[in-house]
């Protein structure tokens, strides 16, 4: 058991260099962009389903995004950490295959052209 007899000295402060927290810089992981592409054969309702079910859009946001995809031919629909983007796109691609649609999406890493 430690001796708790007062010594009159203040307890020592830990040295900043002995911190287990690392340096004080903040590291922000780069995000990956999930891009949806327009086509003439995939129903809008299916695209709305992908946006709402897999990416958490509300109905109004999903409708506005599908209009942006139609108008531009493609649109970034989410920016996620790369592992999350890969997992989410994998699940959406399975739904696309199951539905038999030609819908196309891709992941663009930070720095890729949009």
Which domains can be identified in the chain, with CATH numbers?
38-108 (3.30.1390.10)
**Spatial separation of the C-alpha atoms in residues 96 and 79, rounded to whole Å:** 20
Cα 92 to chain centroid, rounded: 14
> What sign does the CA torsion over 73, 75, 77, 81 have?
positive
- 108/1: higher pLDDT: 108
Structure tokens of 88? 């989410």
Number of residues in the chain: 114
Q: What pLDDT, on the 0 to 100 scale, is given for residue 5?
A: 56
pLDDT band at 69 (very low <50, low <70, confident <90, very high): very high
């Amino acid at each position: 058991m430690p001796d708790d007899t007062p010594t009159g000295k203040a307890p020592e402060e830990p040295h900043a260099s002995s911190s287990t927290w690392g340096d004080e810089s903040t590291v922000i992981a780069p995000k990956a962009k999930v891009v949806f592409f327009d086509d003439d054969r995939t129903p809008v309702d299916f695209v709305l389903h992908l946006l709402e079910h897999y990416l958490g859009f509300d109905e109004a946001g999903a409708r506005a995004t599908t209009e942006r995809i139609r108008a531009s031919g493609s649109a970034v629909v989410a920016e996620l950490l790369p592992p999350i983007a890969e997992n989410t796109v994998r699940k959406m691609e399975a739904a696309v295959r199951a539905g038999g649609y030609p819908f196309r999406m891709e992941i663009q890493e930070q720095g890729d052209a949009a």
